[in-house]
Amino acid sequence: MNNITPHTLRYPLFDIYWDYAKTAFGLLIGTGGLIYGGSNLISLLFFGAILVIFCFFGFQSYQRHKSSVVVDTDGLAFTAWTQKSIPWKSIKNIELRYFGRPIKDRRSDQKPKGVLHLTLKNDDEKITIDSSLYGFRYLVWCATKAAKEYKAPLDPGTVGNMLDIGLDPDGDSEMPDPHTAGL
Domain segments of the chain: what residues?
13-65, 71-164
Is the model's pLDDT at 181 over the cut of 90? Answer: no
Mean pLDDT within 145-165: 86
**Mean pLDDT score across all residues of the chain:** 86
The pLDDT of residue 146: 85
The pLDDT of residue 109: 60
Contact 23, 62 (CB under 8 A): no
Mean pLDDT within 19-39: 91
Number of H helices, E strands in the chain: 4, 7
Higher local confidence (pLDDT), 26 or 182: 26
Rounded to whole angstroms, how far apart are CA atoms 35 and 43? 10
The pLDDT of residue 182: 64
Among 41, 72, 55, which residue's Cα sits nearest to residue 146? 72
Mean pLDDT within 154-171: 85
Q: Lowest mean pLDDT: which of 72-76, 103-107, 157-161? A: 103-107
Contact 178, 5 (CB under 8 A): yes
Query: DSSP string spanning 22-34?
Result: HHHHHHHHHHHHH
Mutual angle of helices 13-36 and 41-66, in 10-degree steps: 160
Among 135, 125, 128, which residue's Cα sits nearest to residue 86? 125
The pLDDT of residue 2: 65
- H or E segment at 35? helix 13-36
Write down the pTM of the prediction. 0.81
